[in-house]
Amino acid sequence: MWLFSAPPLARIEQAHGVRLDAAWLEHLQRSSVRFSSGGSGAFVSSDGLVLTNHHVGADSIHKLGDASHDLLAEGFSAASRDDERKCHDLELNVLVSMEDVTARVQAAVAAEMAADEAFAARRAVMAEIEKESLAATGLRSDVVTLWQGGAYHLYRAKKYTDVRLVFAPEQQIAFFGGDADNFEFPRYNLDICLFRVYEDGRPVKADHHLAWAARPVAAGDVVFVSGHPGHTDRDATVAELVSLRDRRLPLDLQILNRLETVIGGYAGRGPEERRQAVQDLRGVENGRKARSGVLGGLLDPAVLAAKRETETQVRRDLEARLAGKESPFVRIERAQQTLDGIAMRYRLLEAAAGFNSEYFRTARTILRSVEERAKPSGDRLREYRESNRESLEYQLFSDEPLYDAFETTKLADSLTFLATSLGGDDELVVKVLGGMSPAERAATLVAGTELGRRAAPSSRPDRRRELYDGGPAAVSASSDPMLAVARLVDGESRRLRSIAEAADEEKKQAHAEIVRSRFAREGLAMPPDATFTLRLAYGVVTGGTQSGTPYPAVTTFGGLFARAADKRETPPFDLPPRWREAQATLATDTAFLDTGFNFASTADIIGGNSGSPVVNAAGEIVGVIFDGNIDSLVLDVAYDDRRARAVAVDAAGIVAALKQVYAADTLLEELLTGDAPRR
């Protein structure tokens, strides 16, 4: 997961005989797109057409549906530009430039500062840099922490908020095999969708967009992935990994298992309830399986043994040069103990696991926004800094329709989790529940709040803008019960956050010392951990072996039909009606049956890479990343290309499906030529 500002060009050429130049890299960088909802994509036409995964776009697709139109289940295809559907709250970012600001950030932190003072100083200078950059360029500006504090880079990105849905297949073909096949290979998923980016009411002119490859990808091909991997812990110390194994991941799984049961139960009440909940359910199922895989890797003695061996040597060499000064590894261990001591309470309150409702999240954002606005940008909580204000407001005032029954179900369960985790007699729990049971309290809070747009036919007012614009006086005078609960827990939440931020600052300073030692020995020949910023990965299209059974590099549509038949089309292996109808003709079309559908490669990917374009040495798109195999889940903590595989939708399969199943000829022409047809 290499920085675009420091790509391993010599290593790529030596290993694969492919020479990349600055123009190739810039074109791929400027064609690549980050989705605010958590994923990646790419421009694929000069008229602002963006290709990504169905599951990356699913949040926006879901919000565009209603009780009469289940766009996730039914799919969507815009017949014309006028039919393209504007998303409620989707923001896309395209990276324009990167600048190393490490010296300025580090200079703001004096050696004698206490951890909380150092954190405040670092936060202030980062906000100042971002504010200056935004004023000078008009671009979204974010100071990104790399190597756990070893470096700081300023990323400037063009921001787009007028994003419209163009095409999405049925979720059943996008996620064929469901949770049973998730993180497996072979796969048979048309996990794609297409959006168009608009600016000033017209499709944006994308000077950089990826051309469609004329030749299908094949086993042995070298491929490159440009995307935004979300988070890895490969540079974490052993103490941090042990905490991840013994504390954080088990807590994650406890919460996710609970959510899966609660949301699954709500979805089982009927078709409309399922439509409301299915997107959340898919996310929970995916998160549960992903974290189980990481935990399984950390429970493999060989993984931590390798980490301990490497760390022992690094630690020995570093501590020998410290001349009696405290080891940075010891400082990290101490800070991690502090974080572990508040982990449960922090997760319930500041991370809001005890208040699972969109209404609560909105209440907290409004409450904190009006308080933080009165402070200088550098003194605010990080998400409320001035340079992030537009993005925060765009999310806050989303037109997403909310459903009170679903919000009540989620909130009731999370309040129960809060009470059972902290104890029913905990002072704060008693205040939050207000003499009611969790179910009664949740129902009362949801029924009484006016902090969101309820789905039709509700005509309840939405007072988000009124309170936000009204400032502290309006918020203080408000009797909204959800706002009152947010205010009730805010003091304790902020206290826990301050402790966590100070401990994280101690870790950053210690990691920076470790990284400087590594840089002195190795130079920059190592990529930093993933940070949801643009990275370049590369690998080879290849099959492998799973549980002793070999699998191919590329699957086909013939394999899709065979798997559906083998499973007797029982869910989740059933074909959508459109595909079942087309199968009668396509089952005798040898060329279609042999067309590549999904493929596997050794490219280094993780969550956040979903939707990343896969390109060949010519920079042409050959696929779209949508998953990894089960052996890829350990990539969060350690990379191994012997068994781990990145899984992508084949570009040839996308063309075949659009042409022979969806008859999307106009859209297909735009994809293949890079220009929208002029009719």
User: Per residue in 195-251, pLDDT tens?
Assistant: 999 999 999 999 999 999 999 999 999 999 999 999 999 999 999 999 999 999 999
Give mean pLDDT, residues 387-403. 97
pLDDT digits (tens, 9 = 90+) for 605-646: 999 999 999 999 999 999 999 999 999 998 999 888 899 999
Kindly state the tokens that stand for 427: 């002072």
Q: Write down the pTM of the prediction.
A: 0.95
Is a pLDDT exceeding 90 seen at residue 321? no
Identify the helix (H) or strand (E) that includes residue 258: helix 249-267
> Percentage of residues in the chain with pLDDT exceeding 70?
99
The full set of domain ranges for the chain reads: 2-91+161-233+528-673
Q: If pLDDT is split at 50, 70 and 90, which confidence band does 678 have? A: low
What letter would DSSP give residue 248? I
Report the half-sphere exposure of 439 (CA within 13 A, side-chain side): 1
Residues 382, 123 contacting (CB under 8 angstroms):
yes
Residues 556, 593 contacting (CB under 8 angstroms):
yes
Across 552-658, the runs of DSSP E, i.e. the strands, are 554-556, 596-601, 613-615, 621-628, 646-650
User: Minimum mean pLDDT among 86-100, 138-152, 295-309, 516-530: which range?
Assistant: 516-530
**Summary mean pLDDT of the chain:** 96
pLDDT of residue 484: 98
User: Minimum mean pLDDT among 162-171, 636-645, 647-656: which range?
Assistant: 636-645
Give mean pLDDT, residues 104-119. 95
pLDDT digits (tens, 9 = 90+) for 528-558: 999 999 999 999 999 999 888 999 999 999 9
Longest dimension (CA), the chain: 77
Helix count and strand count (H, E) for the chain: 25, 21
Domain 2-91+161-233+528-673 has CATH 3.40.50.720: no
Separation CA 198–CA 394 (nearest Å): 16
Is a pLDDT exceeding 80 seen at residue 94? yes
Across 114-179, the runs of DSSP E, i.e. the strands, are 140-146, 151-160, 162-168
